[in-house]
Amino acid sequence: MRRRGRRRGPSARALVERARSLDIEIPTGYLPDGYSLQGMRSSEVPSELVDWMLSCVRDALQPMYTSSSMGWNEETKRNELTASAQQFIIAKINGANAGFVSYMYDLENREAVLYVYELYVAKTSRRSGLGVALMRTTEDVARAAGIPKIMLTTFVDNAPAMRLYRDKLRYVNQFLRVIL
């Protein structure tokens, strides 16, 4: 006798591999006036942009990393930013860098997720809605890739990030957001 069961979709690993191969148009519907977005794969990012992103992360988070059990390691952070599967959404205003999201499609507890590694908004663009716009755009990218969840981590001491993720974006369950 044959057992009837649910028909299974693609494996989580297959979803991640498929998502990594897609060229997804970056939606711009959430952006505040005057901003533009550009999507890039790690291999397309010029070294001066990597240097800028690294300096942003260093300036914003190095003290928190240093006081944590992880410590700060600039080479590790640079390697993370330049990992072959890393992708980016870069925000600009008047041609100047205003912020970015770095993310990677990955497996977490055998589930396909879009893992946000970094979100940064320049001081001159904070409180403009750009952070929310970058995360909503990232959610749309995950949805278009068929990835059902976004995951990220942040320092509990990072009050602005906690307000953004918990209060504005309503991320819960260790900041795992189901988006489909």
Per-residue model confidence (pLDDT) at position 113? 95
Is 2 part of a structural domain of the chain?
no
Is 1 part of a structural domain of the chain?
no
Is 77 part of a structural domain of the chain?
yes
Residue 170 is part of which domain span?
Answer: 12-178
Per-residue model confidence (pLDDT) at position 123? 94
Is 73 part of a structural domain of the chain?
yes
3-state secondary structure the chain: CCCCCCCCCCCHHHHHHHHHHCCCCCCCCCCCCCEEEEEEEHHHCCHHHHHHHHHHHHHHHHHHHHHCCCCCCHHHHHHHHCCCCCEEEEEEECCEEEEEEEEEEEEECCEEEEEEEEEEECHHHCCCCHHHHHHHHHHHHHHHHCCCEEEECCCCCCHHHHHHHHHHCCCECCCEEECC
Q: pLDDT tens digits, residue range 6-48?
A: 556 689 999 999 999 999 999 999 999 999 999 999 999 999 9
Per-residue model confidence (pLDDT) at position 178? 42
Is 51 part of a structural domain of the chain?
yes
Is 162 part of a structural domain of the chain?
yes
Domain count, the chain: 1
CATH number for the domain that contains residue 134 = 3.40.630.30
- pTM for this predicted structure: 0.88
Is 135 part of a structural domain of the chain?
yes
Is 20 part of a structural domain of the chain?
yes
Q: pLDDT tens digits, residue range 61-74?
A: 999 999 988 899 99
